[in-house]
Structure 1
């Protein structure tokens, strides 16, 4: 293990320890309110409509895999699915999930099965669908869900490229809310221009905390804030020491 890998390992261990500490402290201290993100406010409203008015929610988790850099945003999508499924499974039209990768499709079905079991409802495996393995076959399989299944809101949270523009346009044509977030830079550029409620940058990774997924999700945001201030302080200190000739 070289020096750079060792530094990275130490950082991960320290960050995880900080998350655990903050999660434990949050049990005895009130949690500060997060800044409002309009996308999550509208999402909570859409969840309420799904239960009261019978509108279906459609969540698309993208084409990321679980063993590479795209795994982070894939797990974010699965976390959002778990929270939404538990809130809307009692609706006349339970949520439907589309994805473009086999393992994610299996995990999405497992999340839906767990939510169904929690309320004693019957599980329908067709609610978790693998719609295509290439970008445009994935979109082609997803568009009928947006157009034909009385969807009130579309959530696109996962790894998407420029094909996301076609899905956002379909949601707009169908008159449904589109909320989108991705880790892909070209996908972020597209969703910023086409999505009704885009999640930019780290807002996507904050989804679990804003949807009440658990103390560790909230602790991760607080740990990120602390890490930023530590890094900024070290940069300023280094610049000052360089200026006065110590370094």
Structure 2
């Protein structure tokens, strides 16, 4: 089978377009022309959850999953979770609400601590920041889960925001949040855990929505540029699939071979 007939040419063209688009939008963002992206509806649920916890006089829990930030596969989910943490911490500092951030990774801990501390500093309430509210629990999955559940029960969480890479502990945490009466917003790109979040939390960010939410909140040119470029790639792929189907139905086999991915 030739290079063209194998479909590799069309795949390389799409990859090249996405790469060029990513570089273009990142550079454009660095010059202050940041592309606009749709506000993920889950962010409104986060606002509601923090407001509800404030009215109840109970703390807000916010976690970023179990992945290390340097993990090439799951690390981006943690980065998205930290972007959401920055937003949640700023809201809590503004309203004078306590925010508790259970941490599983030693590399994530100083980042989470700095994010929360800066949030209180920016709101002029640094004296309200408590280092004990950024507890490092354990690198062991279920030790972390047990500590997290115990904290939610002891502190009577009013809201629980979980954005990041989660595994078997997802349902444990969500069920505990439900039992203590916390409003919960969760999101992960681990598809095997999404069903548990859907049935046990009040609002779920599904898959790529967590990256869009992180990019929207952080306003980071690199994150926004990559999101926009990915959307361009999806549109091109969809158009090629539709064209391929139509040509295939019309009997144009050679063109279909070119468009095959």
Task: Please indicate, yes or no, whether the TM-score normalized by the shorter chain is above 0.5.
Answer: yes
**d(CA) in 1 for partners of 2:153, 2:34:** 47
Query: Match for residue 63 of structure 1?
Result: 66
Query: Which ranges in structure 2 are unaligned for 5 or more consecutive residues?
Result: 1-7, 256-261
SS in 1 for 2:102: strand
Map 1:115-126 onto structure 2 (within 5 A): 115-120=119-124, 121-122=126-127, 123-126=129-132
2:226 corresponds to 1:223: no
Q: Secondary structure at the match of 1:126?
A: helix
Measure how far apart 1:18 and its partner are. 4.1
Give the count of matched residue pairs. Answer: 240
* Structure 1 residue 169: Cα displacement: 0.7
- How far is the alpha carbon of 1:193 from its aligned partner? 2.6
Alignment of 1:164-203 (within 5 A): 164-203=170-209
* C-alpha distance in structure 2 between counterparts of 1:128 and 1:42, whole Å: 23
For 1:61 and 1:28, how far apart are their aligned partners in 2?
A: 26
Q: Indicate conservation of the 8 Å contact 1:162/1:186, yes or no.
A: no
Q: CA RMSD in A?
A: 3.2
2-side partners of 1:138 and 1:45: how far apart?
27
Contact 1:62 1:101 in 2 (8 A): no
Q: Does structure 1 conserve the Cα–Cα contact (< 8 Å) formed by 2:23 and 2:225?
A: no
Deviation at 1:142, TM superposition (A): 0.3
Larger Rg: 2
Structure 2 counterpart of 1:107: 111
**TM-score, normalised via structure 1 length:** 0.81
Give the conservation status (yes or no) of the 8 Å contact 1:57–1:94.
yes
1:218 deviates by 5.2
Post-superposition shift, 1:131?
A: 1.5
**2:259: which partner in 1?**
none
> Counterpart in 2 of 1:246?
254
Name the structure 2 match of 1:41.
Answer: 44
Q: 1:18 to 1:218 in 2, by over 3 A?
A: same
Shift, 1:15, TM fit? 3.6
1:150 Cα shift?
Answer: 3.5
Counterparts of 2:183 and 2:159 in 1: how far apart (Å)?
A: 4
Specify the SS of the correspondent of 2:195: helix
Q: Return 5+ residue gaps in structure 1 as ranges.
A: none
Take 1:33 and 1:66, find their aligned partners in 2: how far apart are those partners?
Answer: 26
Query: How far apart, CA to CA, are the structure 1 residues paired with 2:246 and 2:28?
Result: 31
2:218 corresponds to: 213
Distance 1:244 1:9, change over 3 A: closer
1:236 CA displacement:
3.5
Q: What is the TM-score normalised by the length of structure 2?
A: 0.77
